[in-house]
Amino acid sequence: MADQNFPLTGFGSLAIHGGHEQDPQYAHLTPIFATSTFVYDSAEQGMRRFSGEEKGYIYTRWGNPTMTEAADKIAAMESFGLTDGSGNPLAIKGYLQASGMAAISALFMSTLKTGDKILSHYSLYGGSQELMDKLLPDFGISAVIVDLRDLNKAEEALKADPAIKMIYLETPANPTLQCVDIEALTKLGKQYGKIIACDNTFATPYLQQPFRFGVDFVIHSTTKFLNGHGTSIGGAFLGRDIEFMNTWGGKVHKMLGGNSNPFDAFLLVNGMKTLEVRMERHCHNAMEVAGFFEGHAAVSKVNYTGLPNHPDHYIAAKQMRHPGAMLSIELKGGLQAGINMMNRLRMCTRTVSLGTCDTLMCHPASMTHYSVPKEKREQYGITDGLIRISVGMENIQDIIADINQAL
């Protein structure tokens, strides 16, 4: 295995080697440690393990070597090239979760209590929005939702409501791709002594590192680009306060029981090794697809942050390496045009979710949002002719050929 002290200067090298520890049996890949518990040589060793005096695994809900490798790889990527206040490499601690939603739950439950509020943006992943709207209020925690692209509104909200304890960011946001300025909002939040958390699922650490701008926590749905192959649901909960993550943050993670499992962790580790090359190809193809749609007569709008006419183009360019692989278009023909396009696809995949090798297309008006009344959908920007695309890694001429014939 790679010498742990060899300085890796490239993100792609880190994605491959980061987080790996030599297996005692010399297996090349970290095996799937399919075991619920770990054993002790003696009662005394058990005592040392439980007291934390001796490093070692105890019970898989608390930790498992395959899960550790995945969590450490994500932490290494999120902190790649970053330094702390004293110029030392930034240390990040992460826990692998059963899903992105489990990661968000661990974040909220370990940092908030009754009476606290979360300040967030109105465009968020549906599950995060529902958690804030429907479940957290039962525990006395509520959300203040404003347009966080407007820093004045964000500051007004912070001034007006001292109960706000956390600013929760998701950028680019699912499904609108709206971006918020991580650096500016973190600076503002810190002036008011707030916790800043960021959902980095759409960007991945290759395109964007929220810890660079001083955020306290990053969460991921690893289900998407990090896994990259659509083989499992997963999440990660990461923090820069190592002391907190090793104590209360880790404790809450263990108590909630939203841990991942060795098999999914194994799939994730191997998927993440190719993150850099995958994202390069995804983003390159997305730019080409956006350009193709821009010139097409059946399309009234192309929503891609890589295009200079996108309202969040400059924020995305400031904080992301590339504009990502997600885009949406609006078809002039509305609902029927959307249904027709979906039905005519011959190579691209008709499905929800995102971040896999193949190009995925979803027509929210006839699929995910079919049961939402039209007026309500349109408030969220989900019009009849909206098609969302997770641009895959096929050869670009084939993607464009399929889209062209379907249009």
Ligand X SMILES: *Cc1c(COP(=O)(O)O)cnc(C)c1O
Angle separating helix axes 65-78 and 262-272, nearest 10 degrees? 40
Closer residue to ligand X (CB): 169 or 407 = 169
Binding site for ligand X (CB under 6 A): 99-101, 125, 127-128, 170, 174, 199, 201-202, 221, 223-224, 233, 235
Q: Which long-range contacts (CB under 8 A, 24 or more apart) does 124-133 make?
A: 124/168, 124/170, 124/173, 124/174, 124/199, 125/100, 125/170, 125/173, 125/174, 125/199, 125/201, 125/221, 126/174, 127/100, 127/101, 128/101, 128/104, 128/168, 128/170, 128/199, 131/101, 131/104, 131/105
Tell me the one-letter amino acid at 383: T
Contact criterion met (CB below 8 Å) for 175 and 157: no
CB of 120 to ligand X, least distance (A): 12
112/173 with CB nearer ligand X? 173
Residue 384 beta carbon to ligand X: minimum distance, rounded to whole angstroms: 23
Please give the C-alpha separations between residue 366 and each of 341, 384, 385, in angstroms, as whole numbers.
12, 8, 10
Closest distance of CB 39 from ligand X, Å: 32
- The residue among 337 and 362 lying less far from ligand X, judged by its C-beta, is 362
What minimum distance in Å lies between the beta carbon of 174 and ligand X?
4
Q: Which helix (H) or strand (E) is 198 found in, with range?
A: strand 195-199
Nearer to ligand X, 95 or 125 (CB): 125
CA-based end-to-end distance of the chain? 50
CA-closest candidate to residue 269, choices 32, 70, 15? 70
As measured in angstroms, the least distance from the Cβ of 101 to ligand X is 4
Q: How many CB atoms lie within 10 A of CB 355?
A: 26
Q: How far is the CB of 204 from ligand X (least distance, A)?
A: 11
SS3 letters across 213-245: HCCCEEEEECCCCCCCCCCCCCEEEEECCHHHH
Contact, 101 vs 39, CB < 8 A? no
Task: Report, in Å, the least distance between residue 234 CB and ligand X.
Answer: 6
Closer residue to ligand X in complex, CB, 20/253 = 253
Nearest approach, Cβ of 277 to ligand X (angstroms)? Answer: 22
- Helix (H) or strand (E) holding 46, with range, is helix 43-51
Strand pairing report for 235-239 and 93-97: antiparallel
CB of 103: closest distance to ligand X in angstroms?
Answer: 8
Q: Which is nearer to ligand X, 325 or 331 (CB)?
A: 325
Q: Pick between residue 169 and residue 387 the one whose CB is nearest to ligand X.
A: 169
Measured on CA atoms in the order 9, 15, 17, 21, is the torsion positive or negative?
A: positive
CA-CA-CA-CA torsion for 155, 160, 165, 169, nearest 10 degrees?
Answer: -40
C-alpha 384, offset from chain centre:
27
- Choice between 202 and 206, CB closer to ligand X: 202
Q: Whose Cβ is closer to ligand X: residue 354's or residue 393's? A: 354
In the complex, what is the shortest distance from the CB of residue 235 to ligand X, in angstroms, rounded to a whole number?
5
Choice between 65 and 100, CB closer to ligand X: 100
DSSP 8-state symbol, 308 = T
